[in-house]
Structure 1
Amino acid sequence: MTDEVASLPDDVDAVQQALIEWYEADHREFPWRRTDDAYEILVSEVMSQQTQLGRVVDAWHSFLDRWPTVHDLAAADRADVVGFWTDHSLGYNNRAKYLHEAAGQVVSEYDGEFPETPSELSELMGVGPYTANAVASFAFNDGDAVVDTNVKRVLYRAFDVPDDDGEFERVAADLMPDGESRVWNNAIMELGGVACEKTPACDEADCPWREWCHAYETGDFTAPDVPTQPSFEGSRRQFRGRIVSALKDNEELALDTLGPKVRVDYVPDGEYGREWLAGICSDLADDGLVAFDADAGRVRLRR
């Protein structure tokens, strides 16, 4: 257990709004995102475990064509369900077995109506905490904040959350707007799957959190599931971070005032002098993080 505690930006409302607006403006289209049917969503969640989403789409449609309701699946021959799973290369066959058993539970124990809360859904065969929360979120808008590998990567990079499950869960819960689990959990998972993958695509995907993102500021995109980048010490990424940090406490600085704050061996006309520092400031200006007047040799943080 870590003693480190992450802190969110002061303007959490703006952080929330930026992500939701980004998601609603454009996101990957998957058919299970267009339904709030708990059965259809459960099928998609079980199929998506360790299987690429693109491959799941056809299997999901075919499965629902064959067993369109939870009653149909409960009445099916288990061998047929397992055979379907094998034919569509959907991973471990026990997932098909558990899905079939869960359908039977819904019919026999809940009169064909899915339970709505994560705790109740967890009582279904083969439905773990993550899947239960996903179904509660996407079917009933009644879930907790999702914390999967992608979400951990996003939180670790964006808000410098320490690699600790308790901290990830706390920050994820603090970030999610009340009563918005359906759109929020879809949005933050989309962010991790499109903009903040192991190889980030911050600008290409128009990441809505660049303004607040620690990794984008420093250039260090390590994460719990991404090996530590070599030679950060003394790297350009490190000095980008130092420049931004130095400017946080100052309205505007001349290069020769900023230089010694960035590296102790700064010499205006030396190898690590004005020209070197101006180059990094130009890069930061291109990224929208600072305003740099090259002619005047002055730089300030964009607010």
Structure 2
Amino acid sequence: MRESDDGEGVATRPDDLAGMRRQLIGWYEADHREHPWRETDDPYAILVSEIMSQQTQLDRVVDAWKEFLDRWPTAEALADAARGDVVSFWSDHSLGYNNRATYLHEAAGQIVDDYDGECPETPGELQELMGVGPYTANAVASFAFNNGDAVVDTNVKRVLYRAFSEIHNTENPPYQALADELLPEGESNVWNNAIMELGGVACQKTPRCDEAGCPWREWCDAYATGDFTAPDVPTQPSFEGSRRQFRGRVIEVLSAHDELTLDELGPRIRVDYAPEGTHGREWLHDLLADLADDGLVDLTEQEDATIARLQR
């Protein structure tokens, strides 16, 4: 630890990062949360867990993940499934945006058609799959094949921002560059799990440095200065009454019916539905058109009515 001009201790990054790496990996290996996807190296199962975990609480994901794999245990099985069945499963288990179910179903088809049923192994190849961005690609490559780059999610950003003073005052903190520098060569599996665990268990929004035995206390700028400022976490728009909520209601209602006209569907998803009103046929048709564009709903225009059904 260096000293500031006024003599106060200010943590800084050591020239040799070996100590930080060793301490973090040791802390993680001594005790960590037992998520079931951490017990497998099956890339398909890990891909499912990563897609499910996006913006969904992990306690809801565990049972859904197990049930999903019981029903569709391989990429081939998922690719052969009806898309509507996959979307209905997603909605029934409250897994968030249904388009992620569509992307996962499409990605399974790509694995089968483009990779002979074998999940691609590198971050670059994984990003060719539908709905897979840099974070998910690195996570799957790391946890299944131990050859990913550093993962950077909200928890990791919080850790890096607090621990390393040199990124606090930059307009666009170089999170990825710093994370890549920290990553020990050939250890992406354990390292990425460990630094995500650090953010999820010790370096939470309200930090638990001493209670969780944070292994970086001797180096951490926030611990040394008492300034636990962290990047703002983006707030989700209110769910109640949102377009996202009504999209979910449409999927839920249509999963229980073969098909419905707009005037049959409308009252089932909102009590103030009026065919010619603000939230009437025009509003509902626009909502359904978005779902159709996402490959979730089929719309059939008849002479006197529009018919909606889940895409199969």
| Same fold, judged at TM 0.5 (above) | yes
Larger mean CA deviation between 146-155 and 160-169 belongs to: 160-169
Contact 2:12 2:219 (8 Å CA) reproduced: no
Cα distance in structure 2, aligned partners of 1:101 and 1:145: 26
Cα distance in structure 1, aligned partners of 2:61 and 2:198: 20
User: Which SS does the other structure have where 1:154 is aligned?
Assistant: helix
Partner residue of 1:190?
197
Which of 64, 70, 73 does residue 65 from structure 1 map onto? 70
Determine if the alignment matches structure 1 residue 113 to structure 2 residue 118.
yes
Cα distance in structure 1, aligned partners of 2:233 and 2:106: 36
Which of 22, 31, 36 does residue 31 from structure 1 map onto? 36
Determine if the alignment matches structure 1 residue 177 to structure 2 residue 184.
yes
* Cα distance, 1:164 vs structure 2: 5.3
* Cα distance, 1:11 vs structure 2: 3.1
Cα distance in structure 1, aligned partners of 2:71 and 2:118: 20
Q: Deviations over 1:70-100 (max 9, x none)?
A: 1110110111000000000000110001100
Cα distance in structure 1, aligned partners of 2:139 and 2:207: 25
Cα distance in structure 2, aligned partners of 1:213 and 1:220: 10
Partner residue of 1:8?
13
* Cα distance, 1:159 vs structure 2: 1.3
Determine if the alignment matches structure 1 residue 215 to structure 2 residue 222.
yes
Contact 2:127 2:133 (8 Å CA) reproduced: yes
* Cα distance, 1:7 vs structure 2: 6.8
Contact 1:153 1:225 (8 Å CA) reproduced: no
* Cα distance, 1:8 vs structure 2: 2.8
How do 1:1-303 and structure 2 match up within 5 A? 8-160=13-165, 161-162=167-168, 165=172, 167-225=174-232
User: Which SS does the other structure have where 2:138 is aligned?
Assistant: helix
* Cα distance, 1:166 vs structure 2: 5.8
Cα distance in structure 2, aligned partners of 1:198 and 1:113: 39
User: Which SS does the other structure have where 1:16 is aligned?
Assistant: helix
Q: TM-score, normalised by structure 1?
A: 0.71
Stretches (4+) displaced over 2 A: 161-166
Q: Residue type matched to 2:218 in 1?
A: E
Aligned length, in residue pairs:
222
Cα distance in structure 2, aligned partners of 1:224 and 1:83: 35
Cα distance in structure 2, aligned partners of 1:115 and 1:164: 35
Structure 2 segments unaligned to the other structure (5+ residues): 1-10, 235-312
* Cα distance, 1:128 vs structure 2: 1.1
Partner residue of 2:303?
none
Q: Deviations over 1:11-70 (max 9, x none)?
A: 310000000000000000000001110000000000000001111000000000100111
Q: TM-score, normalised by structure 2?
A: 0.69
Partner residue of 1:230?
none
Calculate percent identity across the aligned residue pairs. Answer: 75
Cα distance in structure 1, aligned partners of 2:172 and 2:179: 10
Q: Residue type matched to 1:208 in 2?
A: P
Q: Residue type matched to 1:84 in 2?
A: F
User: Which SS does the other structure have where 1:142 is aligned?
Assistant: coil
Cα distance in structure 2, aligned partners of 1:181 and 1:164: 28
Contact 1:70 1:112 (8 Å CA) reproduced: yes
Cα distance in structure 2, aligned partners of 1:169 and 1:73: 33
Q: Residue type matched to 2:108 in 1?
A: A
Q: Deviations over 1:124-161 (max 9, x none)?
A: 01111111111111111110011111111101111122
Larger mean CA deviation between 167-176 and 89-98 belongs to: 167-176
Contact 2:76 2:112 (8 Å CA) reproduced: yes
